[in-house]
Structure 1
């Protein structure tokens, strides 16, 4: 009985060691780059780990899903980023750190030749991805979409853009469509529903003004884009051909100097918008 008890105690000890090891792997071991900015857009010095220092499960790097890698953008949280490209390949940690590093392999089409690239993501204080780096920098070109094979007479598919004022669709700082906002979308919904054979895809992009934090504006712009998309789908627009994106305060169409709050809100109104981009290619 003592021998059996000893074996069971040893198993419990090993299990405890494994759990501790996992906890350490997920905990913050510190950034390797120096002086990462609070907004995550730069660092005093980018430091790259040696490619042979990956964790054992990532030895030799991975072959990423290119479609997922192309979806990586600023504003993603760590869970969303890991869903697309996995957790970091080194032991810098997961939850507490503001830097993730990867080793990605890319195979040249029609060849056994493999290009090895390092990829770095810097996060802001809210742990949202903000900036992205490649080593060597030429690796960024590997994400380019392959050029379609077209005949000499092929004509690029036209894209029509409709700009809707967010102030006409939503109450200030809100993401629920007002009755007037729903009425303003009815004509567009009818067109898209009744002429579904004349367009291929619709992309709805929400924007905010620069007031408020980046994280808040990103979420607000996404909720507003989702609200427009959901309303159009509810009116019969095919859900499989429509998607929504939030771009926060990016790409402002008007610059306004600081001033009295009410005047500044009015001046920044053109930046609070929802753009509907209709791709009418076949």
Structure 2
């Protein structure tokens, strides 16, 4: 995205936030904070502009501390999911989804950040304790002195740009590009260095086109990657493919020119592998 488009995107966000300065949440839920020490109000999810929430970067959430500026907070977890504004606002509220590790199951939590008179973070709250425990899990009891310790199980994410894998707007085996075959062959060799327990292969598209079209395209690409890896020696029983269409976009693009818009949306067009297993080395994209 060129400097002009970056400025326009920034102005759009600031305009949205300024508009939110006059917005109030009429419906709120009284809920204890994660420690249970006091009553903290969370806005009703029905008043959010992004009611479905997002899947946050958990490592970024762990970095949040008191004394941070709004710009620092925005860089870590993006804009709030309620139209609360920017200047003079004393709190930001978010809706976050966390996977439970049981297939496609996830839980949804609300997260609130309070600011002091200098607009620096002064307190953070979760709407219930199990949400806080996702980032700060309760430590297990120490194992017996002579008990064998199993090697840690790792979950690694590998994101493959579908523009480098497939012809644009296609997702069948015959549509894999030569560069895409090289990347998938390299990935298969890396996977063979692991003791793999499961691999979730998820296809994503950009926002262009209908929901039905994008769901079908993302599913086709994910299934094609699974089929290719199976032929390359990865056990099919370990892999599961699914398509999420355009529901998990990671870009903010507002170009009018279609070619420029397609280029800006490129990061959305991807296949993400969540590999659960044990390995001595990290996988590479």
Structure 2 length-normalised TM: 0.44
Structure 1 length-normalised TM: 0.45
Larger Rg belongs to: 1
